[in-house]
Amino acid sequence: MKELLDAVRQGRAEDVPGLVKSSDAAGRKGVLGELKTLRAEARNWGWDQWEKRRRVHHALLVAGAGCHGGAAAAATWIGARDLRDWRQPPYGLLLDVLHDRDAAWLGDVAHRLAGRAATAREDYPLVHELVRRSGCPVPVTDGYVYGWVDELSRRGRRPDLSADPQAPVLVPRLFETAELADGLSWKEGWTEALVALPGAGAVERAVLVDGCVARLLRGGRASDLRFFLGLLRTLELTADEERARTADWMGLAADAPSTVAGHAQDVLSRLAASGDLSARRVAEVSASVLFRTEKKLVRAQLVLLGKVLRRDRDAAGELLPVVAEVFGHEDTALQERALKLVGRHLDAVGGEVRRELADTAAALLSPVHRAVATEVFGGLPDQVGADGPYEDLLPPVPEPQRVAPAARTLPELVEEVAALLRSGEEDVIDVERALDGLTRSAYEDLAALREAIMPLLADEWWWGEDRVNLRHVDGVRLVAAAAAGRVRLDDLRRVMRSGSDARCVHRRLERIREARAQEVAWRIMTEPLPFLLATPAWHTGTVEPAELVERLAAYGRLGAGPAECDVAQALLRVRRTGPGVAEAAEAAAALGTPEGTRLAGWLTDGELYGPGTREVVEMSGRGWAAAVPSGTGRIVVSTPGQPVIQREFPPAFRALGSPWSATGDGCHHWWATDGADLAVLPEDRETLAAWLLPVVTLAADADVRDVARPLPALVEAGGEAGPALHLALGCGLGARHTEDRLAAVDALLVLAAREQLDAARLGGDLAALVGLGTVKLNRLADSLRTAAATGAYATLWAVLASALPALLTADEPPRGLGGILAVAADCAERCGAAAQSRAGATVDGLDAVAARPGSSQVVVQARRLVNALRQPTGQPAS
């Protein structure tokens, strides 16, 4: 067998089949160990030996396949990923080396290879030939089906399935694979080839029809469904075929993507027209379709309901209550259609149904339709809460949550630290409590802490090193390693000296967290602190001034020397405005310590950072700005320097005091910040908003997800709610992804509930963002509609009243203006804007738009808004 091994080592794969065939079973089995050793050795060859490795891998693949006696072992060897590269495996040589195996063995190998999801598609040529030689049943795995489609799609002509013996088995599987086989979407001729199969007697027509319907019901990617919908349409179902699948069409109309749902609606319309769809079933499917967001589908369903009602007036009692649900649709034009439909058939229902419809109209209809509804029903019941001036329904102001004290016993502390090590230290409050707990425990009994903490760290991947590499650990891990005695002071001193890159605000904030953990570790190893001064009192990260004074007093009683980073972070976190601040400043001065005097001055100095400077900058394509098209203009807020921080704070903090302007240079962060960043400056949300604004803006003008997620936490923080915060809110409201827009809506409502929303400023910012192209109006309309629907109509009208003049008077009306006008009109109608403003009040540019001829959405909604602003709610629009 030496000759075989030499051929494999030299990469002479073409010689291997002959050498294997010349060996007996015992010889083949004996060489397997050497082949496995060479396989392991080849894994460690460098990239400079890539050509040698490729040739040896091919030889190993063929030799191992021929030397394994069992089908399972041979299939595992052939399918191994480490013996493959970007080139096709040597299938011809594999078939040659397996030539003398019996049919059952070959069939077993074929099915095992077809069942390997990672390689079955690539190995289709090999598996297909093994199936042919063995005469075994055709495999039906996803990978084999994908390979079959690939093979037929690569041919130059249209796939000829009628002549393919595998088609009767594999065609039904086309509708069942996890994903659409790629060739079906790009190779022309597949639809025609499949449709021709029933005529050739290869596949029953019901298989194709049922397969398409089942796949559409299952859902999936739009490109996948497009193929199956096209095939279904090409099949041109008969009336009997459509009737037999009525329940399926109902399910598709209710839940499928709009294109598929539209086709199902068309089928249901035909069934209704032929009398094959009962009124009960029409009501059932309509109850779902009329709640869909696609206006086209809702309009089509109302048309269908109208046809059914004209043909069968006795169905009015069952169908009109379903139609009335459209009274609550966001589109007032659809409300009007539904109201007219109800009015045409109202005389066909009894008094109880009529009262039910009137109640629904009173509760759901937009005020613009109330006058017409009153005529239709002969009066409407009074709305609950209609008396008195309108008031917004805003969410309750979030109550700050007290941070629980640090663990008081060693077992509790170890349990909390263990949870943080497993979770990756995600929650800033949990991290702060753990740091404080480790500090307290080390002060009380460092030896006991070390004994308790050692078993936790033994499972950490870095624990086996002679000394902990400080590049691998930070935060709680670093402090725990220091408590365990595995950190060297020289290493710690070296990293503690580093400052921060002032150009990147994320690095500024991140360096504060690093410096604090490093300082805590240092003090544990040298002079343990009794506790930490900067531990937050509230979930936002804020420290109460009176509590900080008491902590400093306790330090004085214990004769402890504060740590400079801990003091610096405490100053940045302490509440500087509101009740009790003046008293705390006096108490701090009375302590007679340098730290007390410093705190007293800090509490009386007022605003930490001066006002920012708003400007429009052109993106340079550097750093995070690389995600934005070059030359795009953006609104940013630059922040001034803070001399006190630069002069008096530790080196790690001084970058916080440097002036900052958003250019993207030096910053490569384009992902969401976390609570730890916000907790560094919990009383300076305006500064944080200015620093985070460029990344939050990526939610609107780039395909970046989740970067608006911190907005609710930001508005819950302390400090001024100024230009930067409102700009960040505006960018979030115009975000590309729904989850980012919902986070911005939550933030907007919380800011309004706290009575800190400047509606005129936000409206002006939104108009400016739209003008620059940062925010698209259709996304903004979705956000504002969602916010208004919570009951904040007056708040949203105040915002829109400030945004609309610039939008209406722009040289070219922005796309989506009609949607924004619709939201504005709805808000104005529901909050009674006409009654709240002087007679004849309007919005600059609105009259000119409303006076245009035509019936576009922009003109119709402008007229609606004009009427809402100039006459009492409920009067008919002109």
**Distance separating alpha carbons of residues 549 and 588, to the nearest angstrom:** 6
- In the prediction, which pLDDT does 877 show? 40
- In the prediction, which pLDDT does 606 show? 62
Q: Which residues of 346-368 are buried (b: 16+ CB within 10 A; e: fewer)?
A: bebbeeebbeebbebbbebbbbb
685 to 476, 541, 680, 690, 718: CA distances (angstroms): 26, 12, 10, 8, 6
**Residue 262's CB: how many other CB atoms inside 10 A?**
17
Q: Would you place residue 876 in the very low, low, confident or very high pLDDT band (cuts 50, 70, 90)?
A: very low
Q: Which residues pair with 660 in a beta bridge?
A: 639
- In the prediction, which pLDDT does 165 show? 94
- In the prediction, which pLDDT does 621 show? 46
Residue 154 CB burial class (10 angstroms; 0-12, 13-18, ≥19) = exposed
Q: What percentage of the chain exceeds 90 in pLDDT? A: 71
- In the prediction, which pLDDT does 503 show? 74
**Distance separating alpha carbons of residues 807 and 823, to the nearest angstrom:** 14
- Residue 668 near residue 703, CB atoms below 8 Å: no
**Distance separating alpha carbons of residues 343 and 306, to the nearest angstrom:** 11
- In the prediction, which pLDDT does 626 show? 47
**Distance separating alpha carbons of residues 344 and 380, to the nearest angstrom:** 17
Helices 258-273 and 222-235 cross at an angle (nearest 10°) of 30
Residues 242-247: contacts with CB within 8 Å, 24+ apart? 242/267, 242/270, 242/271, 243/271, 243/276, 245/209, 245/213, 246/271, 246/276, 246/277, 246/281
**Distance separating alpha carbons of residues 378 and 875, to the nearest angstrom:** 15
Q: Would you place residue 88 in the very low, low, confident or very high pLDDT band (cuts 50, 70, 90)?
A: confident
- In the prediction, which pLDDT does 574 show? 97
**Distance separating alpha carbons of residues 772 and 766, to the nearest angstrom:** 10
- Tokens 């950072």, located at residue: 609
Q: Is 543 helix (H, G, I), strand (E, B) or coil?
A: strand
Mean pLDDT over the full length of the chain: 90
Q: Would you place residue 462 in the very low, low, confident or very high pLDDT band (cuts 50, 70, 90)?
A: low
Q: What is the pLDDT of residues 661-684, one digit of tens each?
A: 876 566 777 666 777 889 999 999
Per-residue pLDDT averaged across 244-248, rounded?
Answer: 97
Q: Would you place residue 40 in the very low, low, confident or very high pLDDT band (cuts 50, 70, 90)?
A: confident
The one-letter code for the residue type at 519 is: E
825-830-831-833 Cα dihedral, nearest 10 degrees: 40
pLDDT above 80 for 607: no
Q: What is the pLDDT of residues 788-839, one digit of tens each?
A: 999 999 999 999 999 999 999 999 989 999 999 999 999 999 898 866 664 4
Percent of the chain as helix, strand, coil, to the nearest 5: 65, 0, 35
pLDDT above 80 for 205: yes
- Which helix (H) or strand (E) segment holds residue 634: the answer is strand 633-638
Q: Is the dihedral of CA 525, 528, 533, 536 positive or negative?
A: positive
- Residue 565 near residue 541, CB atoms below 8 Å: no
**Residue 467's CB: how many other CB atoms inside 10 A?**
11
Q: Would you place residue 384 in the very low, low, confident or very high pLDDT band (cuts 50, 70, 90)?
A: very low
The one-letter code for the residue type at 530 is: P
Least confident of 27-36, 42-51, 457-466: 457-466
Q: Would you place residue 163 in the very low, low, confident or very high pLDDT band (cuts 50, 70, 90)?
A: confident
- In the prediction, which pLDDT does 465 show? 60
- Tokens 């996803």, located at residue: 142
Per-residue pLDDT averaged across 596-623, rounded?
Answer: 75
- In the prediction, which pLDDT does 311 show? 93
- Residue 870 near residue 842, CB atoms below 8 Å: yes
Tell me which of 643 and 532 has the higher pLDDT. 532
- Tokens 């006459």, located at residue: 871
- Residue 814 near residue 851, CB atoms below 8 Å: no
- In the prediction, which pLDDT does 387 show? 55
**Distance separating alpha carbons of residues 150 and 802, to the nearest angstrom:** 58
- Which helix (H) or strand (E) segment holds residue 638: the answer is strand 633-638
End-to-end CA distance of the chain: 98
The one-letter code for the residue type at 168 is: P
Among the listed residues 327, 320, 317, 326, the one whose alpha carbon sits nearest the alpha carbon of residue 363: 327
Q: What is the pLDDT of residues 208-235, one digit of tens each?
A: 999 999 999 999 999 899 999 999 999 9
Per-residue pLDDT averaged across 233-242, rounded?
Answer: 97
pLDDT above 90 for 145: yes
Q: What is the pLDDT of residues 13-23, one digit of tens each?
A: 999 999 898 88
Q: Is 671 helix (H, G, I), strand (E, B) or coil?
A: coil
- In the prediction, which pLDDT does 155 show? 76
- In the prediction, which pLDDT does 874 show? 44
**Residue 142's CB: how many other CB atoms inside 10 A?**
18
Q: Which residues pair with 632 in a beta bridge?
A: none
Q: What is the DSSP letter of 384?
A: T
**Distance separating alpha carbons of residues 164 and 162, to the nearest angstrom:** 6
The most confident of the ranges 47-51, 454-458, 615-619 is 454-458
Q: Would you place residue 624 in the very low, low, confident or very high pLDDT band (cuts 50, 70, 90)?
A: very low
Measured over all CA atoms, what is the biggest interatomic distance in the chain, rounded to whole angstroms? 105
Per-residue pLDDT averaged across 536-555, rounded?
Answer: 97
- In the prediction, which pLDDT does 129 show? 96
Least confident of 29-38, 294-303, 372-381, 423-432: 423-432
- Residue 857 near residue 830, CB atoms below 8 Å: no
Length of the chain: 878
- Residue 772 near residue 616, CB atoms below 8 Å: yes
pLDDT above 80 for 467: no
Q: Which residues pair with 402 in a beta bridge?
A: 538
396-400-401-405 Cα dihedral, nearest 10 degrees: -170
Q: What is the pLDDT of residues 752-800, one digit of tens each?
A: 999 999 999 999 999 999 999 999 999 999 999 999 999 999 999 999 9
Q: Is 395 helix (H, G, I), strand (E, B) or coil?
A: coil
